């Protein structure tokens, strides 16, 4: 693997920035400064230190994206544009896919990876990974909505949702919902089951990883080592 690829995929610096740092002697491979980052190394065997920080090689790539409205995340949805179009070419080549879907009009936190096994396990109902959403509704939610969410909302098709947490704003027209499952249009259908309608929906956390509020809509960054270990523990 090229050294500049290893550095850029670790999220520590772009290839361009790394080239500048390498010219100034800031990239050390197995104890020696390397100026030419197109050099190929075995990332599992070599120790690469970038400006004093050791780079931990990961077989898989993990990205956090702040999804804007108008992008689809379901791989079987043939409509466009697809969320991965928001990523640069080098990431698109890696065939990352979203861990859990968001509707075309839903915004917010989306994690993409090429670690299929971890993604699958994070989405398994067995693991109860919590997903938190902020929503607004067309009308104030009815009295007792919090209790209904807690005991499990019954959807129009008869499906009984697992217990979920609803916390409402003072006017009861917006709030947060925490789910441990992810059925098709689940929140929209839960709110519809109460005779109401979702007017906006944003995912604000996934398995105790919050959406990084420094990311604008459509922006992305690599997950940090800490965030990756949180996911690994939950999956
Ligand atoms: N629930 C929905 O209704 N839509 C989403 O995108 C996510 C959860």
- What is the 3-class SS of 158-174, one letter each residue? CCECCCCEEEECCCCCE
Output the average pLDDT for the chain.
94
For this structure, is 36 an active site residue?
no
Atom of ligand 1 at shortest range from CA of 185: 3
Residue 42 phi/psi, 5-degree rounding, is: -90, 105
132 lines ligand 1 (CB under 6 A): no
pLDDT tens digits for 43-102? 999 999 999 999 988 889 999 999 999 999 976 777 789 999 999 888 888 889 999 999
Report CA-CA distances (Å) from 145 to 61, 141, 148, 153.
Answer: 40, 7, 5, 9
Distance 91 CA to ligand 1 centre (A): 26
Ligand 1 pocket, 73 CB below 6 A?
A: no
Asked if residue 115 has its Cβ within 6 Å of ligand 1, the reply is no
In 3-state terms, what secondary structure has residue 175?
strand
Is the Cβ atom of 191 under 6 angstroms away from ligand 1? no
Question: Cα(14)–Cα(7) distance, rounded to whole angstroms?
Answer: 7
């Amino acid at each position: 693997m090229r050294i500049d690829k290893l550095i850029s995929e670790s999220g520590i610096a772009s290839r361009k920035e790394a080239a500048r740092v390498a010219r100034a002697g800031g990239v050390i491979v197995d104890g020696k400064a390397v100026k030419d980052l197109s050099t190929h190394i075995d990332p599992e065997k070599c120790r690469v230190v970038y400006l004093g920080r050791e780079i931990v090689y990961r077989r898989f790539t993990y990205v956090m994206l702040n999804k804007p409205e108008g992008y689809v995340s379901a791989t079987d949805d043939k409509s466009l544009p697809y969320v991965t179009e928001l990523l640069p070419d080098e990431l698109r080549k890696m065939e990352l896919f979203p861990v859990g879907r968001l509707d075309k009009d839903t915004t917010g936190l989306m994690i993409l990876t090429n670690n299929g096994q971890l993604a699958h396990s994070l989405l398994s109902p067995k693991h109860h990974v919590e997903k938190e959403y902020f929503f607004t509704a067309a009308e104030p939610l009815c009295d007792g909505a919090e209790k209904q969410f807690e005991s499990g909302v019954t959807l129009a098709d008869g499906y009984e949702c697992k217990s979920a947490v609803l916390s409402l704003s003072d006017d009861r027209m917006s709030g947060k919902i925490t789910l441990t499952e992810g059925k098709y249009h689940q929140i929209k259908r839960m709110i519809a089951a109460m005779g109401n309608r979702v007017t906006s929906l944003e995912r604000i956390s996934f398995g105790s990883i919050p959406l990084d509020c420094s990311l604008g809509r459509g922006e992305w960054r690599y997950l940090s080592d800490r965030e990756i270990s949180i996911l690994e523990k939950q999956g």
